[in-house]
Structure 1
C-alpha cells in the first residue's frame, strides 16, 4: 500500500512539474530578481551589485512619491466606480433582458470588438475627438452649448479617466456577466412572487449573488490601472504621473535599482489591496 501511495504521489508531482517550472521561471524568478536589484546601487555610469537601502530611503523620503501614489489611487478609484456602474449595467442587460442565447453571444462579442485592435490605438483614437479643434468641441460649439473650445477635454485627468474606462470596462463586464448567468432564475421569480419590486430584487438578490464577479472585475481593473503608464503619459500630455510612469522614467534613465524598488513597493501595495478585497468575498467559487 505504501508503494502504491508513493507511486501516486510521484506521478502527481510529475504531472504538476511542467506547470510548476513555468510558474517558477516566468513569475517567481523575475520577481526575485526585481527584489534583488532593488537593493543595488546605481551611479550615472554603472550599476553596482550591493545591499543598500538608499533606493527605498529615497522613495519614502520624497514627497513626490506620496503624491504619485495618491494620484495612482485616485485614477484606480475613479476608474473602478465608472467601470463598475457601466459593467454591471451591461452585464445585467445581457443576462436578464436578452432572452435569446444567440443574441447574448452576439452582443457579448460586439463588446469585444474594440479588443481586436491594440490598447494604444484605441487610446490615441480619443485625441482627435477630444482635441481643441476636435469633434467634441466642434459639435458643442455648433450646437451653441459653448462659445469657445473646452481645454480640459484633452491632456487632463478627465482624458486619462475616460481612456481608462474605455480600455478596462470589459474586464468588469465579463466576470459580472459570468456570475449573473449562474444565478438561478427561480430565486428571482420567488422574490417577485413574494411581492418584491425590481429595485428590491436587484439589491437583495442579484447584487449579493453577483459579489464574486464584482470582486474579480475589481481586481482586474484596479491592478491594470495601477500598473498602467502609457495611458497616463499620452492622455495627460505628460502633465500627470502615476507609479507606472515613475518606473518607466527610471528605466528610461537606466536607473534600474530605483525602478525595481518602486516596482516592489507597487507590487506590495497591489497585493495588500487584493488581500483586503478578498476578505470581503470568497471568489474561489468563481475560479
Structure 2
C-alpha cells in the first residue's frame, strides 16, 4: 500500500496532517482514527480496503503527525476541521463516489460530519463509536470535573516513552486496550503513533494529556445530530465492547431508520484483533 503525506493549515491556526493513496479513480474512503491512535495504526485493515478504495487518512488535533494545536478544541470543532482539510484535498481525486469510516472517537466525529454534511458521503461505517448516553452527557455538562473519570485519570498515568520501538512493542503487547491485537496491527501502531526523540528513545505522538482531555470532554448536541442523519450508516460493534456502546447502538437503531447495527466477535478494537474480518464487513456494506 502506497501512501503520500498531506498537510492543511486549518482555520484554527495549526496544521492538520495525514496520508492519502495516489489517486487511481477508485471510490474514495475517508478515515478517522480512535483517541490516542493515528490513521496508520490501522494499516492491516486499511491495506485490505485499499484494494477497492483510494484512502484519505486524517490525523486529528494532537494525534499522529498533526500539530498539538494548544488546548483541545472539542469534538464538534475537530469534526469541522476534518471536513475543511478534506474539502481542500479531495480535489485531486476527481468526481468519484465518496465513503466514510471511523473508529471510536473517529466514529463519533464521522457521525457529526455526516449529520452536518449529508451529501458528502454515499455510505458510512462507524466502528465501535463511543456514542455517550444522553443522560451521561447531561451529567457531564452539569457537574463536569466533580464526576470521577477513571479513563482520563488512568491515561495521565500511562507510560509515554520507551528506549526503542522493540521495547514499546514488548511492553504494550497483550496489555490494556492492546489486548488481543494481531501483531501486525500493534507493529503499525508502534511504527506510526510513536516518534523518535533524541536522547529519549521513542515517545507517543499523542500525549497522554491530550488523550485525557478528550476523555474529559464530549460532543455538543450529539443525539440531535445522530437523529438528523440521512446517509445510510452501518454501526459495527464488538460483542465484548463497553456496555454503553451496545446500549447507544440499540437506541440509535430504534431512532433512525437510516442506521443498521451489526455485532461482531471482539472488543472495542475488534478491527485490530481481526483486520481481515473487519475489512470484509466494511467492504460488504460500502460497496
More helix by share: 1
Which structure has more relative contact order (CA 8 Å, sep 6+)? It is 1
Rg larger for: 1
More strand by share: 2
TM-score by length of 2: 0.24
TM-score by length of 1: 0.24
